[in-house]
Structure 1
């Protein structure tokens, strides 16, 4: 089985509360862990598209990562916009997590399914998109291309993980979706949207790609089954 849940926003220090997004976030980490333990089996794969820990430095994120590492299943993570602790791939791999794979310019094959991904960025029609964002947008687009290219062609199905919604503010597909279509991606999971932001959710089949919003509050803190019986 393949599941996905994003925007865990874990904080072992309890200094950063998510309650600003509503009462449903009270003790959200406890709810996620309980639901995870009741749902995920050891041979399952869980895709986590960013915003994993509120820590600012890698050494401060380790405890949150260890909590996730000890949960059932294999996990693949990409960076979110709040994952300031995220360092180079070599530094992350040196943490020697038992069940976590960090994805950046690389990919992962689970059985005959290829998983690629990147953080993504603000859509170009967003009011907050400035001239300096163009460089980041193009860099993230290239990172997704590198990740997809690393999969090769002998893959039965392709999944993309991306943190930012790959849609414009009018909910039309943006350049990230065009790239996914070029590489014949089958499924895309994304996060980032909370509370009022849920009105920008786009799900279902578009351009032959199946889209899932998996921000944890959107899916009621329950890992969502993406592939499985």
Structure 2
């Protein structure tokens, strides 16, 4: 029984959106994910999927991709990414599959850990951060607190946060997100969104102020789920 993560599946079973236009490594990437998943994951494991699950624009298109994930081994906890326009009522989503849970303003239990999180947003930076960005940024900070407060009220002291966007800017400066993680004593932060070697260079990774940051974009981890916890 172990905890894994893999983000940015970018599935397109219900729409015509081939990913190989973003690089040769994306050619038939869903087959690579499935092969690695079935090789590593057991039905006793849990997999975190931090956003950009499907290119679908609505639930009808997304259903084929969600069914595809459902057929894979293990339990899954999914988070909304910036491209998940199909994402509707989280209450309705959580009724679809027994092995799939959708994270939004709530948290889930994994042994002694609480799995918390929110989508996130771009962090303040010198290149582009407008008034609308500030509005969404502040909203996402509040949603993160809602998730963390829910876990705290239930007595959880060990916390893993899943977010789609990186928790900092390209200069790896502190942000409202990193401050909240430190204030709440978060153990690990799993995120995605960054694609390509140039973007991967700006990923916040490793132990920083007592928190482990882990980039799980599927092209960064060779389309293979990475182990987050062994126990």
Do they superpose with TM above 0.5? yes
Aligned to 1:168: 169
Corresponding position of 1:134: 134
Contact 1:117 1:144 in 2 (8 A): yes
- How many residue pairs match? The answer is 228
Q: Is 1:112 the counterpart of 2:112 in the alignment?
A: yes
Deviations 1:172-216 (A, max 9, x none): 231101101111100000000001311211210011100100000
Query: Which stretch has the larger CA shift, 12-21 or 83-92?
Result: 12-21
Runs (4+) of structure 1 moved beyond 6 Å? none
The normalised TM-score by structure 1 is: 0.96
d(CA) in 1 for partners of 2:157, 2:134: 34
SS at match of 2:201: helix
Q: Which residue of 2 aligns with 1:27?
A: 28
Q: Corresponding residue for 1:45?
A: 46
Q: What is the Cα deviation at residue 158 of structure 1? A: 0.8
| Secondary structure of the corresponding residue to residue 147 of structure 1 | helix
CA distance in structure 2 between the partners assigned to 1:202 and 1:152 by the alignment: 25
Q: What secondary structure does 2:189 align onto?
A: strand
Q: Over residues 103-126 of structure 1, what are the superposed CA-to-partner deviations in whole Å (9 max), with x where a residue is unaligned?
A: 000000111111001000011115
Corresponding residue for 1:203?
Answer: 205
Q: Distance in 1 between matches of 2:211 and 2:200?
A: 20
Displacement after TM superposition at 1:226 (Å)? 0.5
CA distance in 1, matches of 2:174, 2:102: 26
For structure 1, list consecutive stretches of 5 or more residues without a partner in the other structure: none
- Structure 2 portions without partners, runs of 5+: none
Report the equivalent of 1:143.
143
Q: In the alignment, what sits opposite 1:181? A: 182
Tell me the CA shift for residue 102 of structure 1.
Answer: 0.3
Give, in angstroms, the shift of residue 90 of structure 1.
Answer: 2.0
Quick one: distance in 2 between partners of 1:126 and 1:119? 22
Q: Over residues 56-115 of structure 1, what are the superposed CA-to-partner deviations in whole Å (9 max), with x where a residue is unaligned?
A: 001210110011011111111110000000112123124x21211000000001111110
Partner-residue secondary structure (3-state), 2:34: helix
- Decide whether the 8 Å contact of 2:164 with 2:192 is kept in 1: yes
1:23-54 CA distance string (max 9 Å, x none): 01000000001100000011111011000000
CA distance in 2, matches of 1:126, 1:92: 37
Cα distance 1:33–1:56, how it changes in 2: closer, same or farther (>3 A)? Answer: same
